[in-house]
A and B are shown apart, each in its own frame.
Chain A
Amino acid sequence: MKFDFTEEQKSMMEVGRDFAEKDILPTQEEDEKAHHFRKETFKKMAELGFFGCVIPEKYGGNETGHLCAALLTEEIARVSASWTLPFNMQMWGPAFTILNYGNEEQKEKYIPALVNGDVIGAFAITEPNSGSDVAGMGTTATETDDGYILNGQKMWISNAQTADMSLVYAYTDKAKKHKGISCFLVDMKNNPGIKTAAIETKLGLFCAPTGEIAFEDAKIPKSALLGQKGDGFKICMWQLNNTRLGCAARGVGIARGCHEHAIKYALERTQFGQPIAEFEMIQDQLALMYVEYEAARLLVLKAAYEKDQGNIGNTLSVSTAKYFAGEAAVNASGLAMKVFGSYGYSSEYPVERFFRDAKSLQTVEGTSNIQKVIIARAILSK
């Protein structure tokens, strides 16, 4: 067992850190206020190869691996949680899923464009009436002579209104229950049957677009089917086990951002004639934050490492990491807020934003409860 990062991994973390501090931080406040997804930031991430970590060179990737992608995600989430979503929306979600399940034509059409940022990606699972219960979805894909017709509604979809393509999960045969779900590669633009709308009423992640999609007799070609008919549920679970790694790494980054800010503040802020870091109750808070960050990080690194070793289906490790890192991020932001006192409650300081952004991690891509279900099933079946 080796705990050292390679020189290359260190260089990549440095690129992630520099990018976050020089390209995201300066406009963050402004973009947060305007709920603005800055296209040039997205393009630059693509140019640097951020979305190609788990993609072979043949499709424009760089094969630096899941571990590298997780480290980059952490570095960026440390500054901005919003800007880690594209890792999932481009790479771990669509591109990596197409790489595993797609035919050559699909791979060539989508993967390089998702990696280089020419195409903005998304994946659409959740619906107004179906969240954790994926098989409870209502969206249908009715087969015709020349394709499929989609009907239904998806909600809380990252990039819904900005995406050029999306993985869309829909029933091709409702009677078969979860074995009747299929996955489609849907071109989102220029389809009169597809309407999208932004969701502005969310707590955080303001620089990452979220929206809903309505399919009303939306025609898509036969070639849109990913894998076989009825593979959708399997693909969905496989995909979530990858995108959850991205969520977990985001949680680690938030936890780190919080503890770094809290340490700095505790050393600067004086009360009763001494830096507040001298008070044991503050020390307790700082120590807790550090412990949870460190533990969450190790879980994420382990899960990423396993994937790099070829164990992509490592659900126990990924769900453990996603659960713990999500909770750690929420705890860290709450503790940081206490350390900051009133300034923690002010939107002029970053802790308040971390607090709002962190909460999403207990919900997205499988709630904390769902992660515990997965963990329990796995450990009980051993």
Chain B
Amino acid sequence: MGNNVLIFAEQMGGKFRSVAYEAICQGKKMAQGLGGKAIAVAIGGGVEAVAKDLGQYGADKVIVVDNAKLKDFTVDAYGKAFSEVVSKNDPAVVLLAATFQGKDLGGYASAALGAPLSSDCTEWASQDGGIQVKRPIYAGKAYVTVKFNSQPAVISLRPKVFLPDAPDASKSAEVEKIDLALSDDDFRSVVKEIITKTAGKIDVTEADIIVSGGRGLKGPEGFVVLEELAGLLGAAVGASRTVVDEGWRSHSDQIGQTGKVVSPKLYIACGISGAIQHLAGMRTSKCIVAINKDPEAPIFSTADYGIVGDLFKVVPALTAEIKKTIG
């Protein structure tokens, strides 16, 4: 039985994402508890050069699968590469970030290795020589504590919950490069085109601040006032289910049980009444502000701060005030 922690170091366009550092920092801590090593795995085309930097976040070793064919993520090819690395290393824990890639890859590795899986974990603890995790279910209306009965356990961590430690520039990791034979059969799915999102647009799952709008915006044009505030704060703009169902905002902006679950530092809910399925998607935000004209709106019972009033007056005033205060 192994006692190492194998961590998928997610990259995008040849650069590691902050979720990779989050996972490595936690992986290192888990490995310490298990008496093993933190081994990062970097997969892609042209990732070798940056791989050793992962040591600064706590990786004891970095395994690199660098292949031009792996430039674009497909679960087929990445899954094969990752699973092979995992099975060769016999870790106690396989750790990923619960991003799109991480969830896909976690599922693939779990099936390939016959390993139990828990996604989107928000807490973990060493327990009886293994790792026990806590994760939200029903979009956060409840939590479960999960114990694994077999090794390895495939665990993905909810982004932004575990913040990475500051990098230690004095450290670097040993890099092991692995060549994997990839056949055509590993490329049954091929990325034909990538339509990058509008420049400057921040995804709600990545943003530190979210300004979110509901039915109170009265129409797609109402979102202009939110865009202005978001622009000033470097925030993402989110939306309630109603607003998305009405076609005012894109599906990718929806926050809630059938949309995205977010936990930013600051969540500003404007004209959102606070349906149970919306609250489920944002209640783990560090600070919640609600602006609503209806003093009885359930959102106020979840918010830290509330203003009762017309959002079309309050939000522009907020934008102006923040501009004045922060400059």
Please report A residues at the B interface, Cβ cutoff 8 Å. 22, 26, 265, 268-270
Contacts and interface: CB of A to CB of B under 8 A. Distances in A.
Contacts of A270: 296
Taking residues whose C-beta sits less than 8 angstroms from the other chain, chain B's interface range is under 10
A226 to B, nearest CB: 44
B310 to A, nearest CB: 13
Contacts of B246: 26
Contacts of A26: 246
Contacts of B296: 265, 268-270
A26 B298 CA distance: 20
B245 interface: yes
Interface string B176-204: 00000000000000000000000000000
Contact of B245 (A22, A265, A268, A269): A22
B253 to A, nearest CB: 18
A92 B298 CA distance: 42
Interface in B207-251: 245-246
A346 to B, nearest CB: 12
A191 B296 CA distance: 55
Contacts of A268: 296, 298
Contacts of A269: 296
7 contacts: A22-B245, A26-B246, A265-B296, A268-B296, A268-B298, A269-B296, A270-B296
A-B pairs, top 7 by smallest CB distance, nearest first, are A268-B296, A269-B296, A26-B246, A268-B298, A265-B296, A22-B245, A270-B296
Q: What DSSP secondary structure best describes chain A's contact surface? A: helix
A181 B133 CA distance: 80
A240 B259 CA distance: 48
Nearest to B245: A22
A338 to B, nearest CB: 17
A22 B247 CA distance: 13
A269 to B, nearest CB: 5
Nearest to A269: B296
Nearest to B300: A268
Nearest to A22: B245
A206 B296 CA distance: 28
Q: Which of B245, B246, B296, B298 has the most CB of A within 10 A?
A: B296
A336 to B, nearest CB: 15
B295 to A, nearest CB: 9
Contacts of A265: 296
A38 B218 CA distance: 20
A40 to B, nearest CB: 15
A269 B297 CA distance: 9
A22 B296 CA distance: 24
Contacts of A22: 245
A268 B273 CA distance: 12
A93 B245 CA distance: 35
Nearest to B215: A26
Nearest to B293: A348
Nearest to A27: B246
A8 B246 CA distance: 29
A224 B211 CA distance: 63
Interface in B97-119: none
A53 to B, nearest CB: 28
A22 B246 CA distance: 9
B14 to A, nearest CB: 44
Interface in B258-300: 296, 298
A262 to B, nearest CB: 13
A97 to B, nearest CB: 39
A77 to B, nearest CB: 22
A269 B245 CA distance: 28
A264 to B, nearest CB: 10
A270 B297 CA distance: 11
A268 B296 CA distance: 6
A367 to B, nearest CB: 38
A268 B301 CA distance: 10
A214 B245 CA distance: 44
A277 to B, nearest CB: 12
Q: Which of A22, A26, A268, A270 has the most CB of B within 10 A?
A: A268
Nearest to A270: B296
Contacts of B298: 268
B140 to A, nearest CB: 22
A125 B206 CA distance: 65
A298 to B, nearest CB: 31
Nearest to A349: B294
A86 B298 CA distance: 36
A270 B298 CA distance: 12
Nearest to A26: B246
Nearest to A268: B296
A19 to B, nearest CB: 14
A268 B246 CA distance: 26
Nearest to A25: B242
A208 to B, nearest CB: 24
Nearest to A265: B296
A254 to B, nearest CB: 23
Interface string B301-313: 0000000000000
B216 to A, nearest CB: 12
A269 B296 CA distance: 6
A350 to B, nearest CB: 14
A268 B295 CA distance: 10
A265 B246 CA distance: 25
B214 to A, nearest CB: 13
A265 B294 CA distance: 12
Nearest to B301: A268
A91 B246 CA distance: 31
Interface string B84-95: 000000000000
A22 B245 CA distance: 9
